[in-house]
Amino acid sequence: LGGYKVQGRGEAAERLMADARAVAEAGAFSVVLEKLPSVLADRITAGIDIPTIGIGAG
């Protein structure tokens, strides 16, 4: 079967963290986290000052 796979493992985790910070600093009101490991979702949530919405995260 096709479909989306879990994202944010290895070096991609650092890129996703940087992207989340960038959109928060750009003025976003929230960030949607989809198909991330729970550890990364927790890290992103703790690392930015806007709400996160988890869809299949963790």
d(C-alpha 20, C-alpha 24), whole Å: 6
Residues carrying an active site annotation: 34
In this structure, are residues 36 and 58 in contact, taking their beta carbons and an 8 Å threshold? yes
d(C-alpha 51, C-alpha 46), whole Å: 10
d(C-alpha 6, C-alpha 12), whole Å: 11
Half-sphere exposure of 51 (CA within 13 A, CB side): 4
Q: Calculate mean pLDDT across residues 28-32.
A: 97
| pLDDT score at 21 | 98
* Model confidence band, residue 2 (pLDDT cutoffs 50, 70, 90): low
Model pTM? 0.83
